[in-house]
A and B are shown apart, each in its own frame.
Chain A
Amino acid sequence: MKKLTLSHLGNFSHSLNAAVYHIQPRFVEEIADIFVFARKNDLKIAPRGAGRSYNDAALKGGGIVLDLSLLSCVQAWDAEKGILRAEAGLTLEKLWQYILPDGWWPPVVSGTMKTTLGGCLGMNIHGKNNFKMGTVGENILEFDAILPNGKEVTCSPKKNSKLFYAMISGMGMLGVFTSVTMQMKRVYSGLVNVKEWNVPNLAGQLDALLDGAPENDYIVGWLDGTSRGKALGRGQMHAANYLAKDEDPDPAETMRVDFQTLPDTFFGVVPKSKLHYLMSLGLNNLGVQAVNTAKYLVGRDKNYKQPHAAFHFLLDYVPDWEKSYGKQGLIQYQSFLPKETALDAWTEMLKLSQRRKLPTYLGVTKRHRPDKFLISHALDGFSLAFDFKITNNNRAKLSEMVQEFDKIVLDAGGRFYFAKNSETAPETARQYLGDETIKTFRKLKERYDPKNLLYSDLYERVFAPLN
């Protein structure tokens, strides 16, 4: 192996920047060699896909970041059954582009298409259809992985099932995915039917999710974090449904990749690659309040058709949007609450954030259902994700507030998500995951990785202290 040098690598939200040995294998066979190399040099490894986590999940300061993004071949595609087998570095972007012309769509996608299959499995991502299709893991037929001892293993819900349910959601800490076999979802058009309507407050928002979920394929809410009083938690709902067979007069046209591609200018004028500069001007308490109010007030009941990519990948609509949050970046705080306690807990949190003059600049709500994976964030209820801009002046205040949030969420029986929250304390994780889960995870870690070769900053921060 050639001489390694440290270089800086950040997280997606520009809130962390670590000096790491960044290694990008080009062949699966190299991975086992990298394990040997790391062990010999006493270095830890954090696996990384596209690096889209908002925290330290794909970083290991002073250690190796094993970047799997170049291992991205589609290995097999059955266009009759909709079963795809690909290397773990394949992005959702390449994936949908590969399968859509044949009339298929990934059953679960994140809000950005830049994520890799490996990253999606490691974090067991969900989409706006979590209540219907579950997490991505529920749609995986089989995967191959390399364990820290260099051995290859194949897992499915039936074969090595314990490892299957732990590696999916295991944050890359039990092994490295090399190949993923996934069942896709049949679609009959490149379009989805979208409904859009305003909701007057948080209760309205949660009711809309609850009532809307059974009758829609997808549903998601935008929440205005700056509105107060009776309008606290007001927002806008978006629901979408697949088109029925023969509903689209020309599916071959709408399922073309070109048809799906997002426009590269805003209002046909502003190049979107520059849009984040413009947005950064509005990302302050006053600006966000003005924009949110305008967005709410012009919101009307609407029905329209939209390409899949435009509906799902809202985060990709403005390239590099995260840069508009400025040099210090942002944190994302997502909490999952049972449907019985969500209203009270989030009302308290929204009020707290307004009292502290730290309103969220973006709030997103979704409907969820529980799953069987080991490190699970989901439950029968809802999630609410907040974005907070970090500045040098608000760090301490923000830190104090998210700790108070954690307490409110825990008291309300809630959970958190390890691809997003960056401040979760070890004891918080223990409390919501439960001792039994921590013990199972630790046992698997001791069995497959006794020397802690796979050891991201996230694992070191949250899980190592629980051992």
Chain B
Amino acid sequence: MTEVENKLPAETPLSPKKRAIIVGASSGIGAALAHRLADEGFLVALLARRAEMLEKLTNEINSKHGETRAINYIHDVTDYESVPELLKKIISDLGGLDTFVYNAGISVMVGLKKYDFEKDRQTFDVNLNGALAWLNPVAELFQNLKSGQIVGVSSVAGERGRVGNPSYNVSKAALTCYLEALRNRLTRYGVNVLTVKPGPVETDMIKDVDGVLFPISAEQAAGDIFNAMRKRKQEVYTSARWRWIMLVVRNIPSFIFRKMTF
């Protein structure tokens, strides 16, 4: 895109702008949140690997609003070394940064009786190392600015180790814990860290999984996340009923949990 076509609307004292980056924006919760933030007047930088989907989403958002509210960058979160430069470029293009959302996540199923380090490592590279590659420079930035909001999309799956997908559970448990540590570091600098724990959301990730419990739409999840962002909450379950479901799940004694098959 040329500079003029890509021109984001200017900020003035009477039309202030919020600016956000969404990593993992091409589909699912990320895409729905991109729409929602743009609807709320945010300027959003959308990052994902899948160029075509990303371009389509960007065009959808911009034509809906009749102005450029979304710009995009093709990025693979496992390309860790590229992150600091890319972050600098995006901030220069957006004209600042208020909110950072890490939504990139994969779930690589290994099968109930199988073990596969390669697959586990892929999960970790995206869900955790990619998050660390981004959250380190973003946290440092917000700490310096003494403002900002970090949104990490983790999962209810991080609350117990289950038979179905151990590495996914661990990657999300680690992400949740890392976000908590960031929160403890950054709250004193005026930075809000929001941990998002979605239950099943109708996205590509669960389209082949049978019998999911209480699935919600990505739009509903994005709505819950936005409301939590606005209230500067520390943690949000989406849908809300998962807070109570997980309260139960977390307290299932191990001798029972060991016998379960989910």
Q: Is the CB of B92 within 8 A of A457?
A: no
- B89: CB under 8 A from chain A? yes
A364 cross-chain contacts in B, Cβ below 8 A: none
- A207: CB under 8 A from chain B? no
Say yes or no: A8-B14 contact (C-beta < 8 A), given A19-B96, A42-B92, A62-B93. Answer: no
Task: Encode contact with B along A230-249: 1 for CB under 8 Å, 0 otherwise.
Answer: 00000000000000000000
A329 cross-chain contacts in B, Cβ below 8 A: 13
Nearest chain B CB to A187 CB, angstrom units: 38
Nearest chain A CB to B87 CB, angstrom units: 10
**Which residue of chain A has the shortest Cβ distance to B97 in the bound complex?**
A19
Choose from B14, B91, B140 the contact partner of A390 (Cβ within 8 Å): B14
Q: Is the CB of A18 within 8 A of B95?
A: yes
A331 cross-chain contacts in B, Cβ below 8 A: 13-14
Q: Is the CB of B13 within 8 A of A55?
A: yes
**Which residue of chain B has the shortest Cβ distance to A458 in the bound complex?**
B10
CA separation between A102 and B200, bound complex, in Å?
80
Say yes or no: A8-B91 contact (C-beta < 8 A), given A18-B96, A19-B97, A465-B7. Answer: no
Task: Encode contact with B along A139-174: 1 for CB under 8 Å, 0 otherwise.
Answer: 000000000000000000000000000000000000
**Which residue of chain B has the shortest Cβ distance to A18 in the bound complex?**
B96
B96 cross-chain contacts in A, Cβ below 8 A: 18-19, 61-62
Nearest chain B CB to A400 CB, angstrom units: 9
Choose from B13, B92, B140 the contact partner of A15 (Cβ within 8 Å): B13
B16 cross-chain contacts in A, Cβ below 8 A: 16, 395
Q: Is the CB of A16 within 8 A of B13?
A: yes
- A87: CB under 8 A from chain B? no
The main secondary structure of chain A at its interface with chain B is loop
B144 cross-chain contacts in A, Cβ below 8 A: 5-7
- A56: CB under 8 A from chain B? yes
CA separation between A173 and B15, bound complex, in Å?
24
B89 cross-chain contacts in A, Cβ below 8 A: 42
CA separation between A455 and B94, bound complex, in Å?
14
CA separation between A108 and B16, bound complex, in Å?
34
Nearest chain A CB to B40 CB, angstrom units: 15
**Which residue of chain B has the shortest Cβ distance to A20 in the bound complex?**
B96
Nearest chain A CB to B140 CB, angstrom units: 8
Q: Is the CB of B14 within 8 A of A395?
A: yes
CA separation between A421 and B146, bound complex, in Å?
29
Identify which of residues 10-48 in chain A touch chain B, using a CB-to-CB cut-off of 8 Å: 13, 15-16, 18-19, 41-44
- A225: CB under 8 A from chain B? no
- A406: CB under 8 A from chain B? no
- A322: CB under 8 A from chain B? no
Q: Is the CB of B14 within 8 A of A399?
A: yes
Say yes or no: A457-B10 contact (C-beta < 8 A), given A6-B144, A62-B92, A63-B92. Answer: yes
Task: Encode contact with A along B129-171: 1 for CB under 8 Å, 0 otherwise.
Answer: 0000000000011001111000000000000000000000000
A13 cross-chain contacts in B, Cβ below 8 A: 13
Q: Is the CB of A460 within 8 A of B10?
A: yes
Q: Is the CB of A461 within 8 A of B14?
A: no
B15 cross-chain contacts in A, Cβ below 8 A: 395, 399
CA separation between A329 and B145, bound complex, in Å?
20
- B11: CB under 8 A from chain A? yes
Task: Encode contact with A along B102-119: 1 for CB under 8 Å, 0 otherwise.
Answer: 000000000000000000
Nearest chain B CB to A401 CB, angstrom units: 10
Identify which of residues 1-57 in chain B touch chain A, using a CB-to-CB cut-off of 8 Å: 4, 7, 10-16
Identify which of residues 439-467 in chain A touch chain B, using a CB-to-CB cut-off of 8 Å: 457, 460-461, 464-465, 467
B91 cross-chain contacts in A, Cβ below 8 A: 6, 19, 62
**Which residue of chain A has the shortest Cβ distance to B85 in the bound complex?**
A41
Q: Is the CB of B11 within 8 A of A8?
A: no
B92 cross-chain contacts in A, Cβ below 8 A: 42-44, 62-63
Q: Is the CB of A423 within 8 A of B145?
A: no
Q: 6 closest pairs, A vs B, by CB?
A: A15-B13, A61-B95, A461-B10, A399-B14, A62-B92, A62-B91
Given contacts A62-B95, A460-B10, A467-B4, 6 further A-B contacts (CB under 8 A): A5-B140, A8-B146, A13-B13, A19-B97, A62-B94, A422-B14
User: Can you show 22 pairs from A to B with CB atoms below 8 A apart?
Assistant: A5-B141, A7-B145, A8-B145, A8-B146, A8-B147, A16-B11, A16-B13, A18-B96, A19-B145, A42-B89, A42-B92, A61-B94, A61-B96, A329-B13, A331-B13, A396-B14, A399-B14, A399-B15, A402-B14, A422-B13, A423-B14, A464-B4
Chain A interface (Cβ within 8 Å of chain B)? 5-8, 13, 15-16, 18-19, 41-44, 55-56, 60-63, 329, 331, 390, 395-396, 398-399, 402, 422-423, 457, 460-461, 464-465, 467
Chain B interface (Cβ within 8 Å of chain A)? 4, 7, 10-16, 88-89, 91-97, 140-141, 144-147
